Each structure stands twice: as C-alpha cells, then as structure tokens.
Amino acid sequence: MIGALVTIAILATTIFSTWLVGRSGRLIRVRTTLPATQFPERADVYACDKCGREVTKHFRPGQSHSWKPMGPTSFVCRCGQRYLTGAIEWDHLGPWERHRRIRDTFALGALFSAMFSVLGLLAYLVLRFLFGSREAGLIVGVFVTALPFVGLQLTFWPGVLASIWRTRVGRSVEHA
C-alpha cells in the first residue's frame, strides 16, 4: 500500500517537473543571434535590423502557437524601428480564447492537485502515524495538495490583471 503510494508520488513529481521544464523550454545550447525582423524564429539574442542594438528582452517567444504570452503587442527600438513582440494583451483576446485560458488554468491546476493529493496523503499518514500529530498532518496534507492549483492561479491571474492595467489604465495615463 505505502509502496504503491510512494511510486505514484514519485511519478506525479516527475511529470510535474518535466512539464515545468518543458514550459520554460530552456535547454543548454549554443547562443544564437538573429536580426530582430527574423522573430519569431528561435534565437537567444535579437539585434535591431536598423541600429544593431540588442532588443531581446522586448520579445516574448511563445511556448506554443495556441498560447501567446500576455504583454505589450509591439515595441519601438530607440532608433524608431517598430517590432511585434509575439505577445498579446488580454483585452485583445476574443471571449472564446479568454474563456479557454481560464478553463485550462483551472483544469490543469485541478489535475496537478489531484496528482499531488497522493503526496499530501503520504505526508498526512507519516505525520499522523509516525509523529502522532493529526493537525500537522491535515495542514501539511492540504497544503501539498493545494500547492499546484494555487501556484498555477498565481502565475496566471497577476498576468491578466497587469495586462488589463496596461491596456485600460496605462494607455489613458500615457495620453493624459
């Protein structure tokens, strides 16, 4: 029983870590440089076509075509050249896409929390029966289970709010 639980727990952790690494998509490789107009072709460094300044930090390479990162849609280099960043603001996503992102964030959070509940149960059992503390077991168990769900919401909603702020408030401040 405990052996099976440990196996499932290790499996859950492995899948979650692999997913996190895959999402950040950073593997060790040689640094490549491209002219900025070549974006979104993959490169580590982008240089402005016109003046040669490094403009890498403005670009937002997406994890996938179906999930553009949230951020300003374009930026202007100090030389005046305008580029698209590859990002999109929340307000520019259609209602269907917004709904999909909210749904996916909740569904993915629930899925990972379901996997982590095995770890939570293990922690509960250890604290309850090895250390004799039911309260500590419950607190740690619930905490471990809720962690992926809460973590995903925390990576998602501040980005949405920041985007809405930029689009609705930031612009009016800029024009004031």
* Residue ranges binding Zn ion (CB under 5 A): 48, 50-51, 53, 77, 79, 81
Is residue 40 reached through a cis peptide bond, with omega within 30 degrees of 0 on the bond before it? yes
Q: State the minimum distance, in angstroms, from the CB of residue 78 to Zn ion.
A: 6
Q: Please identify, using beta-carbon distances, which residue of 50 and 98 lies nearer to Zn ion.
A: 50
Q: State the minimum distance, in angstroms, from the CB of residue 43 to Zn ion.
A: 16
Hey, what's the torsion of the CAs at 107, 3, 144, 68, to 10 degrees? -40
Q: State the minimum distance, in angstroms, from the CB of residue 83 to Zn ion.
A: 9
* CA nearest to 93, candidates 113, 68, 74: 68
69 DSSP assignment: P
Q: Please identify, using beta-carbon distances, which residue of 85 and 113 lies nearer to Zn ion.
A: 85
What's the first-to-final CA gap in the chain, in angstroms? 66
Q: Please identify, using beta-carbon distances, which residue of 33 and 155 lies nearer to Zn ion.
A: 33
Q: State the minimum distance, in angstroms, from the CB of residue 80 to Zn ion.
A: 7
E strands, the chain, in order: 33-35, 45-47, 74-76, 82-84
Q: Please identify, using beta-carbon distances, which residue of 83 and 116 lies nearer to Zn ion.
A: 83
